[in-house]
Structure 1
Amino acid sequence: MRRYPTLKDVAREAGTTAATVSYVLSGKEGRFISADMRERVMAAVAATGYIKSSPASSLQGKRQGVIAVLVPQFANQHFTNLMVAIESVVEREGYVLSISNTFDDPTRERDIIIKMAEQRVDGLILAPTTAGATNTEFIRKIGVPLVLVDRPLQGITGSFSEVVPDNYRSGYLLGEHLGRKGHTRAAFLGWDSGFATLDSRRRGFWDGLEAAAGTGVTELSLDGEFSVEGGYQLAERTLRDHPEVTAWCLGYNVPARGSIDLLRDQGVTPGQDLSVVIIGAPDWATVGRNDFTLVDPRSGDVGRAAAEQMLGELSSSGGEPAQTTIGCRLHEGSSVIDIRTD
């Protein structure tokens, strides 16, 4: 079983005793420790990836029965569904989850990962921020099982697992659907996430629209804040400044809620006055009178696959890291107008 480095590991690397390592790391000054020894201890800490354990955690690297899950947006139903699916799988093996919201804040993400390491969690399932590569460096170095969901670690590749939805295909299916209904003047209402993989849904949308509609496609991409209010403001600007557009693709389901609220307040009915499609499958999109055309990223399947991968890596045989892409599904609702003239 992979384990966190101990004081003995640091002592072995530094060529001294665990008691000396403990004394140096405590910051005490009463006992003489040479500058050379202090430097050797700190170099050994860096080399082994040692991080101090909390008093409540195991000091011998024993299994804790806890898996940490870090996601960036509790308000996003995609991540809620993902977490519920993860829990349904890992509880079968007696694990519990420690769930945290990073709020897409790199500093908060780093602090939470350090605290989870201090608690000696058995593994981490992480939807990283843009600083995820740096924040997980010591975890990856010591070999604690790490499974990424939804997003990659920016700028690096390595021996860690990833389970992601097919973002490009999600956009492509909706663009293709609109193109087949005669739309060439569309708007993609998105968010500058900082992740090329997430932004690929935008590229997929335009590729799908062009493939189905042929020439004459007018591309209009607009970004707003990732919030319900941000989506409302973005929709207000789009409706005011671009009345020529016949179809909207709402690229993220949290701001999409705000955009739909704006259309309601302005008396614009999707499927009658404007075609609207959504990447994501929030409950509100298909409840009551709502029946939006959307692409379901299968959040639950992403979570289950991530959990199974984690359990495999935690097993006695130790599963190998793997990269998995979960396919998406198109739901054809009543929010698209067929404007073909032939």
Structure 2
Amino acid sequence: MERPTMKDVARAAGVSPMTVSRVVAGEAGVAPGTAARVARAVRELGYQRNDNARSLRQKNLGTSAIGLVVDDLANPFYALMARSVEDQAHRRGYVVLVGSTNDDPRREREVIAAFTARRVDGLILVPTIGGHGFLRQPMQRGTRVVCVDRPARGLAVDTVTVDNRAGARRAVAHLLDRGHTRIACLGDRYDIWTQAERHAGYLDALAERGVPADPALVRHGLRSHGETHAALERLWALPEPPTALFTSNDLITLGVLDAPPRPRPVAVVGFDDLPLADRLDPPLTVVSQDPHALGATAADLLFSRIDGESAPPRDVVLPTRLLIRTPRG
């Protein structure tokens, strides 16, 4: 079977070969809808630019490229992880192309298609909820893949995660130790692997202490401050409102801190640390995971694969820490 050409992509997308060239090269000035159409055609046809001369020029200059695909680069956690990947790549003479998916499988495919069209040597991927069998084709062509933060469905590759379930269990046990039994769980979309693991840890802690789980205290699908505020209003309106909150990521924690005043004091423990969390009044207790370690470990695994490592896929699980912060004075 012949490899698809730029003309084939142009025909499928209904644009000129010059437009395809500009999209593949990442040049500005192409309408977003047109660029998305071209990226879709690139993905569906399996097109990869045969740009050997450019690649050789890059390598002679000591620069190659890898791709980093995250959920949302505006999230401080992923920004810190990206910085760590960039630091590791820079030491090896690589540049990093970064794209966000907003947990949209279609957008994920388009970003990955754009990166593989640029013939990146490898990808570090925070997988979306979709299947990832589509990555087998670029992997067969030599693109190395490492997953970070979450495993990918249907793909056997090196994966770096943290022990989300144990971290959440310790957080909720800490609240139980302080006499709270009405503990609400505020989470992101439940179909995201990390959120399901953290909810499981929440349930583990309640079960270990014989505290019945109340579904009315669980709110999933919170992806904005507004959604978090609405969830809190529903919790405060319960006949027996919670006296404590377990927030399962940093953005939800920020939404809680930014919410209108509560009708009564409530304890909060969050998953993910926040800048200046120790300066709040009262200071915030958190489950801390290390985005720098996640990024550095994923980058090390990827570069070992690029260098020819052929061992079976590895699952690396990093620990979390419960940072207990008590009021000053």
Please report the TM-score for the alignment, with normalisation by the length of structure 1.
0.75
1:170: which partner in 2? 167
Equivalent-residue separation in structure 2 for 1:290 and 1:85 (angstroms): 31
The answer as to 2:319 corresponding to 1:327 is: yes
Q: Deviations over 1:212-236 (max 9, x none)?
A: x335565631124311222222122
Equivalent-residue separation in structure 2 for 1:57 and 1:332 (angstroms): 56
Q: Report how many aligned residue pairs link the two structures.
A: 290
Q: CA RMSD in A?
A: 3.0
1:259: which partner in 2? 256
Deviation (angstroms), 1:292: 0.9
The answer as to whether partners of 1:168 and 1:203 remain within 8 angstroms in 2 is yes
Q: Deviations over 1:296-319 (max 9, x none)?
A: 121111111101111111125566
The answer as to whether partners of 2:69 and 2:126 remain within 8 angstroms in 1 is yes
Q: Secondary structure at the match of 2:102?
A: coil
Q: Where do 5+ consecutive residues of structure 2 fail to align?
A: 12-44
Q: Where do 5+ consecutive residues of structure 1 fail to align?
A: 1-9, 12-17, 29-48, 336-342
- Equivalent residue letter for 2:271: I
Please report the TM-score for the alignment, with normalisation by the length of structure 2.
0.78
The answer as to whether partners of 2:284 and 2:325 remain within 8 angstroms in 1 is yes
Q: Deviations over 1:109-161 (max 9, x none)?
A: 1111111111101110011111251442422343411011111222x242x11
Deviates further, 227-236 or 280-289: 280-289
2:72: which partner in 1? 73
Q: Which aligned segments of 4 or more residues in structure 1 are displaced greater than 4 angstroms?
A: 21-28, 54-64, 215-219, 316-320
2:236: which partner in 1? 239
| Gap change, CA 1:59 and 1:309, over 3 Å in 2 | closer
The answer as to 2:127 corresponding to 1:128 is: yes
Deviates further, 248-257 or 223-232: 223-232
Equivalent-residue separation in structure 2 for 1:78 and 1:126 (angstroms): 15
Q: 1:228 aligns with which of 225, 232, 251?
A: 225
Deviation (angstroms), 1:27: 8.3
Equivalent-residue separation in structure 1 for 2:107 and 2:287 (angstroms): 31
From the CA coordinates, give the structure whose radius of gyration is larger. Answer: 1
Equivalent-residue separation in structure 1 for 2:135 and 2:239 (angstroms): 43
Report the identity percentage: 24
Equivalent-residue separation in structure 1 for 2:10 and 2:95 (angstroms): 35
2:273: which partner in 1? 281
Equivalent-residue separation in structure 2 for 1:61 and 1:314 (angstroms): 19
The answer as to whether partners of 2:189 and 2:195 remain within 8 angstroms in 1 is no
2:203: which partner in 1? 206
